[in-house]
Amino acid sequence: MIRTIALLLAATSTAAFAQEAPPLLPPVPPAIVALQHAALADELGYKLAEDITTELGPRLDGTPAEARARDWAVARLRALGFANVHVEPFTIDGWTRGPESADVVAPYPQHLVIAALGNSASTGSRGITGQVVGFGSEQALEAAPDSAVRGKIVFVSHAMTRTQDGSGYGFFGGPRRQGPSVASRKGALAIVIRSIGTDHHRNPHSGVQTFAPGTRPIPAGALTIPDAEQLQRILSHAAQNGGQPVTMHLTLVSQSAQAPSGNVIAEIPGRDPSLPPVLVGGHLDSWDQGTGAIDDAAGVAITTAAASLVRSMGQPLRTIRIVWFGSEELGLFGGLDYQKRHGNQPHYALGESDFGSGRVWKVNSKLGKPREAEGRLLQAALAPLGIVPGSLEDAEGSDVGPMIAAGQPGVGLSQDGTYYFDYHHTPDDTFDKIDKADLQQNVAAWATVLAVLAGPIGSEPKRPAQR
Ligand SMILES: [Zn+2]
């Protein structure tokens, strides 16, 4: 492979690289270049992420902590000079965890580290005991006869490894998303899975799962990756040593109830309020074990700082709407409520930052054929930040995903997720995991996107606002 490339280089010199460049990208207005430079040195995003994680801490969906976070957000967004700051409330199917533990009772008694998955049924405080039956994948569990599972504690592993784009999360997330429903349908007593993550620390990765309609909720938890590997070894040693059954005592105490939540919305009014707004944001809620730093204090901080920077360069043509979505983690409740209220109104574009604070490396957009030139301008404007042009027919985002899927225009900035799943949904999702320079590159990227989409900036220059 290496020799082929060397020969190719010798034969074609630099022409080989030139041909790989995308179609000629348009020139970038100097005001956008200046904004990008300012954003790379701007402190607001990093400060916001610090303040959210420090002054609010964990903010699980529907809890008093999330309500406190909304009040805090309203005050901070007003203090930052945003207009029309308000909360759109909604009710969710809430869930909270209580005491949780997992112990192998026989044949090799020992403690394992576990966390309940969202919407897990409760074992009650006395816990349950059952025989463990192991599967190497969700597919293997699906294929097993019900008789192999009935009345047992199902254990499902998987082979997720790290990738830059985080694509392993979709495929290898099956044991968490569908595993509990499959196990329940087959009559399992409970399910424990290998955490959906890429680290090797004894930190369990939580995350939501939703029982399929008509499925009886059962206790469902995630073992840390070292503990899942230990359980795999325990099962195989027990099988080798005379086929002894492995039994586990599992305690996952939790509560489910309707709970209040809401989206926090703020705007930079555009010069022409009749034009559809550009929406960017992240989600304010977080899992309960860490302080929700990379998921998703970073996202709200990045997009809010970006919007604030654009405002400091002058009033944009189009309104910029910031949304700090509520209750993303337990089921995209905030995104769905926003869609219910505003999904029929046109938006100029939707974008969300919800993949940590790793550097942006690719831009995708889905603005429609007539706006392809705008997509190319985005590509050109982002290239100096090391961001490669991606698709012009595709964009992604968690809370905004359903609206983009329903036909609203969107922009997606792909972040480097190589290390994201080391910390995602664990007690280790804390502020120290955010790299300041990486976060500032994100702010610069989103400020660029907003400056391109919200219309000419700098045409009404004014002194940068006090931020
Ligand atoms: Zn998130």
At 455 the pLDDT is 87
CA of 318 to the centre of ligand 1 (A): 27
CA of 275 to the centre of ligand 1 (A): 29
CA of 398 to the centre of ligand 1 (A): 7
Choose among 102, 103, 100: nearest CA to 116. 100
Report whether 167 contacts 205 (CB < 8 A): no
| Cβ neighbours of residue 81 closer than 8 Å, sequence gap 6 or more | 308, 311, 465, 466, 467
Direct distance between the N- and C-terminal alpha carbons of the chain, in angstroms, rounded to an integer: 52
CA of 296 to the centre of ligand 1 (A): 5
CA of 329 to the centre of ligand 1 (A): 6
Cα–Cα dist 229/245, whole Å? 17
CA of 183 to the centre of ligand 1 (A): 26
- Residues paired with residue 100 on neighbouring β-strands, in sequence order: 252
- Cα 247 to chain centroid distance, Å, stands at 35
CA of 240 to the centre of ligand 1 (A): 42
Choose among 192, 213, 194, 190: nearest CA to 202. 194
CA of 289 to the centre of ligand 1 (A): 14
CA of 426 to the centre of ligand 1 (A): 12
Average pLDDT of adjacent 10-residue blocks, the chain of 467 residues: 37 46 81 95 98 98 98 98 98 98 98 98 98 97 98 97 94 95 98 98 97 97 98 98 97 98 98 97 98 98 98 95 98 98 98 98 97 96 97 95 97 98 98 98 98 77 44
At 456 the pLDDT is 75
Helix (H, G, I), strand (E, B) or coil at 246: coil
Peptide bond into 103 cis (omega under 30): no
CA of 466 to the centre of ligand 1 (A): 30
